[in-house]
Amino acid sequence: MRTVPMYLSLAMLSILHATTTAFVPPTSFLTKTTTTPTTSSFQMSKDADMTPEEREIAVEKALKAMTAFSNKYIANTSTKYCSDLSIPAVVIKGLAEHKVTLGAPLCPCRYYSDKEKEAKDGFWNCPCVPMRERHECHCMLFLTEDNDFVGDATEISFDQVNELSGGAPGIV
C-alpha cells in the first residue's frame, strides 16, 4: 500500500479546514504585483469593485460551477473524493473564492507570494499540472484508489459543499 506524503498529513488538512472556513477576503483586498525589478504597483482583486450583494452572487455562482466541475472531473478521471467529505468541500470553496478574486481556480492549498501571477501562469490552476500529468492532487480533492484517504463518493452536492465548508461568505 502506498504511503501518504508528509505534506498531506491530517494535521495540515485540519489547519487548512480551520483557516479556509474562517477566512473571508475583504472586498478592498489588494495584491502587490511587481512591474519592474525596482518598482511595484498594486492591482485590485477581481472582486474589489463589487458590492457585497454582487460578491455574494458571484461566490454562489462560482461555488456551484466548481462543484459541478469537480463532479465531472471525478467521473472523467475515475478518481474519488476523500472519505471525509469536508476536505473536498473546503477545497472546492477555496477554488470558488479564487475564481471570484483572481478570475481562475487557483489551488487553495498552496502558499503563493503572488497569487495573481500564479493564477495567470496556470500551473496551479485546478486541475493543476501534477494532477493532469500524474493524477497527484496535493489538495486531496481528486484521489486515486491507492490513496489511504480515498472514500467511496464520486459526487458531492452544492448543499454538501456549502454545509461542510462552513458556508460560502454571504450564502445562507
Across 88-114, average pLDDT: 95
Helix axes 86-102 and 52-77, enclosed angle (nearest 10): 130
Residue 16's pLDDT is 44
The ranges assigned to domains in the chain are 53-165
Give every CB contact of residue 57 below 8 A, 6+ residues apart in sequence: none
Task: Identify whether 126 is a catalytic site residue.
Answer: no
Confidence bin at 167 (pLDDT 50/70/90) = low
| AA letter at 10 | L
Query: CA-to-CA distance for 169 and 126, rounded, in angstroms?
Result: 21
Q: Which of 82, 109, 126, 128 is catalytic?
A: 109
pLDDT digits (tens, 9 = 90+) for 30-43: 444 443 443 333 34
pLDDT digits (tens, 9 = 90+) for 102-121: 999 999 999 999 999 999 99
Query: If one looks up domain 53-165 in CATH, what number appears?
Result: 3.90.460.10
- From 14, 45, 3, select the one nearest 149 (Cα to Cα): 3
